[in-house]
Amino acid sequence: MNPTSAPSAILPPAILGMLGGGQLGAMFVDAAHALGYRVHVFSPMDGEPACLNADFKTIAPYTDLAAVGQFAQSVAAVSYEFENVPEAAAAACAAHAPVRPGRRVLQVAQHRVLEKTFFSENGLACAPWARIAAAADAGKALAACGLPAVLKTAHGGYDGKGQIVIKDGGAAAIEAAWLRLGGVECVLEAFVDFTQEVSVVAARGVSGKTVCYGPILNHHRHHILDESVYPAPSVTPAMQEEALAMASRVMAALQAEGVLCLELFQTRGGGFLCNEMAPRPHNSGHLTMDGFGVSQFRQQVLTLCGRDPQDPDFRSPVAMRNLLGDLWFAGGSLREPNWQAARAMPGVTVHLYGKTQARHGRKMGHLNAVAETAKQAAELAGHAYRALLT
Ligand code: AMP
């Protein structure tokens, strides 16, 4: 497995820049180290997961553009681990080093109106939707989407935050929900009666070479990803081809250089509707760390460096369970989960992010379980999860 490199590729031991100090950044650092690179992390807060294993760190707010500029001058290329990087910070980096994925990808992923427009203009099916920027838009939006529908802020929402499901009540209910979200720019989307939610993680190199993982089955709990499984059940080879083609089309249309996750609804007819995209490795793609020879983070490093992504090298059906801070409080009082019990199970790998304070809903780590079938992997992940509570 020898990744190809364009003549302009950034090679080790170059220093790579990562905007953001969270767990996605930390797993990027590990993957970069494995390939011989060093990493400079820019994080508004010290002590975050990526600050712990970075070679260099800058602790400053994203609004400190002088610090951002200095950071960018010290690295060969910059990526980010969350999509809400302020535009000015991305631009300050781009003045000194390539930022991948680039500006257009960030703009589209940051704004649901641009994102839906992008899907619609590129023949990528999504649920009927409408923009709401004033109370007077509610009637038109109702006509476009009907009810039930989901109202979402155009900017800044994640893990179900900034969203309201409207079941009935016509335009007046839509207007009231819009006011509850602060009267900011929103999109209304028809409620999709999906059979399952899946995601495709894609990596595209500067050369255009694209590889995909998925579709991965995702289950959410309280709007936060709880479990992911690959291969997803109820997906025929033809459907898989369709989902991967949709992700590849997104990558090509955006000329994206890097890793991006496309979240999809699978409909009763078996087709897919685009929900949203994240221009970075994704929580659902954490299962690539153990089910594949090449993880989504390794692809992020390669593509950031102008190198082609590698064949994902599928090894085994795999299931991932997120480990939220809630686990630490499961017995009613704060206690450490039983790591030994889970780690003793063959096929189970526990990944912890080094966060010292457990809080409800906080992503502290994840575990992956590999087995002969996806069903067995999901069962094993469930056993391992429950073992943590013993
Ligand atoms: P999002 O932040 O857009 O990914 O939405 C969070 C979750 O809300 C999704 O993973 C779905 O479970 C649910 N959801 C969002 N949009 C819709 C929709 N149009 N129809 C049905 N469920 C939705």
Predicted confidence (pLDDT) per residue in 319-375, tens digit: 999 999 999 999 888 999 999 999 999 999 999 999 999 999 999 999 999 999 999
pLDDT given at position 5: 57
- Give domain status of residue 216, yes or no: yes
SS3 state of residue 313:
coil
Ligand 1 centre distance from Cα of residue 151 (Å): 10
Could you tell me if 178 and 225 lie in one domain?
A: no
Whether 184 shows a pLDDT value over 80: the answer reads yes
- Give domain status of residue 106, yes or no: no
Give percent of the chain with pLDDT exceeding 70: 97
Could you tell me if 327 and 227 lie in one domain?
A: yes
Nearest to 253 by CA among 266, 264, 262, 241: 262
- Give domain status of residue 36, yes or no: yes
Among 116, 150, 198, 217, residue to substitute to test ligand 1 (most atoms within 8 Å of Cβ): 150
Could you tell me if 293 and 277 lie in one domain?
A: yes
pLDDT given at position 332: 85
- b or e along 216-238 (b: 16 or more beta carbons within 10 Å of the residue's beta carbon)? bbbeeeeebbebbbbbbeebeee
Alpha-carbon span 384 to 106, nearest angstrom: 37
Amino acid at 13: P
- Convert the pLDDT of each residue in 201-250 to its tens digit: 999 999 999 999 999 999 999 889 999 999 999 999 999 999 999 999 99
Could you tell me if 342 and 201 lie in one domain?
A: yes
Whether 6 shows a pLDDT value over 90: the answer reads no
User: The CATH number of the domain where 62 resides is what?
Assistant: 3.40.50.20
Nearest to 280 by CA among 259, 295, 255: 259
Could you tell me if 202 and 350 lie in one domain?
A: yes
Ligand 1 centre distance from Cα of residue 163 (Å): 9
Whether 387 shows a pLDDT value over 90: the answer reads yes
pLDDT given at position 2: 44
- Convert the pLDDT of each residue in 162-179 to its tens digit: 899 999 999 999 999 999
Could you tell me if 141 and 85 lie in one domain?
A: no
Nearest to 377 by CA among 299, 315, 326, 330: 315
> The domain containing residue 181 runs over which residues?
128-190
Report whether 202 contacts 277 (CB < 8 A): no
Mean pLDDT of the chain: 95
The whole-number average pLDDT for the span 373-384 is 98
Alpha-carbon span 245 to 252, nearest angstrom: 10
Alpha-carbon span 231 to 218, nearest angstrom: 11
Instruction: Name beta bridge partners: 5.
Output: 307
- Give domain status of residue 334, yes or no: yes
The whole-number average pLDDT for the span 147-159 is 87
- For 158, 232, 249, 265, the CA distances from 269, given in Å and listed in that order, are 28, 16, 21, 11
What pLDDT band is residue 269 in, cutting at 50, 70 and 90?
confident
Ligand 1 pocket member 145 (CB < 6 A)? no
- Give domain status of residue 112, yes or no: no
Could you tell me if 236 and 284 lie in one domain?
A: yes
Alpha-carbon span 303 to 210, nearest angstrom: 10
Could you tell me if 247 and 307 lie in one domain?
A: yes
SS3 state of residue 169:
coil
The whole model's pTM is what? 0.95
Could you tell me if 153 and 200 lie in one domain?
A: no
Could you tell me if 282 and 357 lie in one domain?
A: yes
Tell the residue nearest (CA) to atom 19 of ligand 1. Answer: 191
pLDDT given at position 159: 62
Final residue before a domain boundary, out of 84, 99, 114 = 99
- Give domain status of residue 113, yes or no: no
pLDDT given at position 1: 40
Please count the structural domains in the chain.
3
Whether 87 shows a pLDDT value over 50: the answer reads yes
Report whether 165 contacts 192 (CB < 8 A): no
Could you tell me if 267 and 380 lie in one domain?
A: yes
pLDDT given at position 157: 67
- Give domain status of residue 109, yes or no: no
